[in-house]
Amino acid sequence: MFLSYRQLKEKILGCFNGKNIGGTLGAPFECLRQINDVDFYVQKDIRSNPPPNDDLDLQIVWLNAVERFGAGVDHEILAEYWLTYIYPRWSEYGTGKANLIRGFRPPVSGRMENIYKDSCGSFIRSEIWACLAPGRPEIAAVYAWHDSAVDHAGEGIYGEVFCAAVESAAFAESDVRKLLAIGLSYIPENCLVHKAVTLVEDCFDSGMTWKEARERLFDEVPGSFGLQCVPLERWTEKDHAAKAGCDAPNNIGIAVIGLLYGGGDFGKSICIAVNCGEDTDCSAGFAGALLGVVMGNGGIPEKWSEVLAGVINTGCIDLSEWGFFLPKTVEELTDRILADIPAFLPPDLLSAPAVHFEKEEIYRVFIDDEKGFFCPPYEEYGKYLWRNRSGKRLDVNELLRMPEYCEYKEFPVFKAVLEYQRAPYIKQGETFGFVLRLMNNGLSRSQHWADIRIFTGSGLKADCNSFTVPLQNTYRYEAVQAFSVELMENHACLEDIIVEISLPGRHTYGVLKATLSVADARDVSGE
């Protein structure tokens, strides 16, 4: 089957209008643990003037990155855009930014000293990847990982991967239960996001009310977001709190409550999500965006859409830097996404361009049948068959299996992962281990030898300054080499390790940089 240009436009418009509507509805109740009684906007003076919302702001930054780098956008590029164009310094945003400023790159920037790594700040920006890869959840999920790794880890990443997969599949599948099953196939069964979604489904199937489902969700998969504004003396035994910052599972669960108990009614669904409390603009924004894709823009009741009139107001974007282009309306945002899709998707997923301009059938996106929406299985043997997967990026299964602390980069002939043995801290006299993994990406079908050189800061000493490893011609063949460094003298707060990779006889050349924080007084044994 295929999605026409006209169908794509209708669904992308619906996605971001639904996002804007849900975020606006929920904004006044954010950070409050309470049951609300909302059936429409409560703000005054919002006609054609919705309040700014970071849930939408951040995605506009990603759009600008995609417009410049196309399908080549990755965690390193997104991190540069994050530092350049995004104001907020709070919570996970601030922690990720502080880590980047210190020299720690994604995915380390999203994990290191980040108590908010499991929070909501990345699943709220999943829609851009779903709309750029409509009906291709396996592609949307990969970019969701690259996005989330900038300032999240663990449940934060699982949350965005889940949401991106669900929203992408919604371009071709309208059944919410099937969509949830598709999203769950992309994340580990033992993670809290998976637990929250299946728990709410169980509550719905057992005949509980949405309030009863909410109570059970809060008991078994609690968050902390809604207690931030509640004084400690007002906490009760029922106010179960997760560890600070673990909020993505609970709030995705709330969004699912809205979707299931709303029964396909747009207004009812987003109101139930808001009435559950917690991170209300995020949960209602996701529910509204998903239903907007399923229904199309025309399926959103006019009473909700005409108030905002598709206007986008921003509050988190730094426009003082040159080279940033801000869409003023959802219509403009949609048109720019539509223009990017041909450069974002592989050419075999698109029809020939320039077809029936007068009918706005500029191109079509081909999609698989329903079974193709689920996460492809991870097969130890199949991944080595270069003839089937030559040149493709790591898929979402492989990305989610990446070490918590690592450097990851793709080069024309190989992919490289530098794995830290633990959190990136070192004491004087201590040894810190690394494992370098090189993977043949299938571009060159010849055997190679990779020459590796290690360069360290003045206080470090490597156990080996150079070595050579074989890189066989088999696609995804892994060449593995361990090495370690020792902190001899404490000269600086940060110590860099540069890993230089070259292939004799070819110009391909790659560099990975790891950074260790010197912590004489810090207990680094726990991570």
* Dist CA 474 CA 394 (whole Å): 15
- Tokens coding 89: 């310094």
CA separation for the pair 100, 118 (Å, rounded): 18
Number of helical H runs and strand E runs in the chain? 18, 12
Domains of the chain: 2-343 (1.10.4080.10), 396-518 (2.60.40.10)
| Local structure of residue 124 (DSSP, 8 states) | G
The three-state (H, E, C) secondary structure of 162-187, written as one string: HHHHHHHHCCCCCCHHHHHHHHHCCC
Cβ–Cβ < 8 Å for 7, 298 = no
| pLDDT < 50 positions in the chain | 354, 381-391, 521, 525-527
Q: Is 278 helix (H, G, I), strand (E, B) or coil?
A: strand
β pairing state of 425-426 and 509-518 = parallel
Residues in a beta bridge with 456: 497
3-state SS class at 60:
helix
Q: What is the pLDDT of residue 347?
A: 82
Q: Is 357 exposed, middle or buried (0-12, 13-18, 19+ CB in 10 A)?
A: exposed
Spatial distance between the Cα atoms of 199 and 202, rounded to a whole number of angstroms: 5
Nearest to 127 by CA among 284, 344, 286: 286
Helix (H, G, I), strand (E, B) or coil at 187: coil
**Residue 377: its pLDDT value, please?**
77
What integer pLDDT is reported at residue 489 of this predicted model?
A: 84
Give residue 426's pLDDT: 93
As beta bridge partners, residue 407 has 418
Instruction: Output the CA torsion 111→115→119→123 (10° steps).
Output: -20
Beta-ladder partners of 481: 436
DSSP code per residue over 366-435: E---GGGGSPPP--TTGGG-HHHHTTPPP-HHHHHTS-SSEEEEE-SSEEEEEEESSSSEE-TT-EEEEE
Percent of the chain residues topping a pLDDT of 90: 72
DSSP at 35: -
Backbone angles phi, psi at 24, to 5 degrees: -65, -45
With 0-12 CB in 10 A as exposed, 13-18 as middle and 19+ as buried, what is 244?
middle
pLDDT at 352: 63
Identify the pLDDT of residue 272.
98
Model confidence, pTM: 0.91
Q: Which amino acid is at 347?
A: P
- Give me the pLDDT at residue 319, please: 86
The strand ranges marked E within 66-147 are none
